Amino acid sequence: MDHLQARTARTWLATAVAEARAGLAEGGIPIGAALYGADGALLGRGHNRRVQDDDPSMHAETAAFRAAGRQRSYRGATMVTTLSPCWYCSGLVRQFGISRVVIGEAATFHGGHEWLAEHGVEIVLLEDAECVALMHDFIENNPALWNEDIGE
Amino acid sequence: MDHLQARTARTWLATAVAEARAGLAEGGIPIGAALYGADGALLGRGHNRRVQDDDPSMHAETAAFRAAGRQRSYRGATMVTTLSPCWYCSGLVRQFGISRVVIGEAATFHGGHEWLAEHGVEIVLLEDAECVALMHDFIENNPALWNEDIGE
């Protein structure tokens, strides 16, 4: 797989951030994600839907994966997410052989991205200030909802 | 958590098998699951819906988890599944702190249940002949669809 250009990573992250902001505007948990194919085409995008749909299974990454529909292979694909993927979403990436994960930030929540790196997934951690601010403010104002979303 | 009685495990597995058979009758992948609460109440049940809904995110375990709706805690809960959970579904169990997994069989597919055991999840592996036969026949007749469902 070609090395991901920093500009491309930032452009892709903007899609995930737009999803996170859409979720926040709906009263939901502000985490967004997008799945890009090996050729750079957007396959699917989505955001956490726990509150909006009463659906605990729709994390941002699973929503983007679902929106992409059935795919024969995820080789070369990139999952872009505003926040370090939890074990549920890390398991998704590993099981389906998604090659790369671009992460907005891992400061407010530290998921399974190191485990993914150990298993050959390329991890691009951007430490994006906008993503940190989104989650920091949300967690501060909604601690119970956040703990529910990560099973704590 | 109390030790699970063998009869209870078999009764719960029957719910998951009924889901698997419902999925097969719909033309889908015959894997079923059910989530039981700490008090033994059925919280949700479901089956793989890749074919039926064109939805790659709905494995049997995620479908049962979704059907259970929002829960404040999964402490003491049991995920019952006809087949060893893949990394995606194993990640779900770990992230949400589901205490126990009852597995119909791990002969036709070996997922992440040993990883879960290492992280404190109680694993009950039943080696159920009916579950083995269901998956063995399905994989033999639908190898491409099965590989798609596990990202291989």
Q: How does pLDDT run across B59-110, given as a tens digit for each residue?
A: 999 999 999 999 999 999 999 999 999 999 999 999 999 999 999 999 999 9
CB B70 within 8 A of CB A54: yes
Task: State the Cα–Cα distance between residues B118 and A86, nearest whole angstrom.
Answer: 18
Instruction: State the catalytic residue, choosing from A19, A26, A61, A114.
Output: A61
Q: Is the pLDDT of residue A2 over 80?
A: no
Question: Taking residues B138-142, what's their average pLDDT?
Answer: 97
Check B69 against A62: CB less than 8 A apart.
no
The model's pLDDT over A110-130, given as tens digits with 9 standing for 90+, comes to: 999 999 999 999 999 999 999
For residue B134, the tally of other CB atoms under 10 A from its CB is: 24
Q: How far apart are CA B47 and CA A109, in angstroms?
A: 31
Which of B43, B86, B87, B150 is the best substitution to test chain A (most A C-beta atoms within 10 A)? Answer: B87
- The answer to whether the pTM exceeds 0.95 is yes
- What is residue A63's predicted lDDT score, i.e. its pLDDT? 98
Size of interface A-B (CB pairs under 8 A): 86
DSSP string, B77-140: -EEEESS---HHHHHHHHHTT--EEEES-SSS---SHHHHHHTT-EEEE---HHHHHHHHHHHH
Q: What is the mean pLDDT of residues A7-29?
A: 97
Kindly state the helix (H) or strand (E) to which residue A43 belongs, with its residue range: strand A42-47
The model's confidence at residue A20, banded by pLDDT at 50, 70 and 90, is very high
Q: In angstroms, rounded to a whole number, what is the distance separating the alpha carbons of residues A8 and A14?
A: 10
Output the six-digit token pair for A141.
Answer: 């104002």
Q: How far is B88 from chain A (nearest CA, A)?
A: 4
pLDDT in tens, A58-68: 999 999 999 99
Which residues of B fall within a CB distance of 8 Å from A120?
A: none
Could you give the CA distance from residue A53 to residue B26 in angstroms, rounded to a whole number? 25
Query: Per-residue confidence at B16, pLDDT binned at 50, 70, 90?
Result: very high
Q: pLDDT for B30-56, tens place per residue? A: 999 999 999 999 999 999 999 999 999
Q: Which of A122, A133, A137, A119 is nearest to A9 (CA)?
A: A122
Contact A100, A1 (CB under 8 A): yes
Residue A94 main-chain phi, psi, to 5 deg: -65, -45
Q: Which residues of B are catalytic?
A: 61
pLDDT given for residue B2 in this prediction: 65
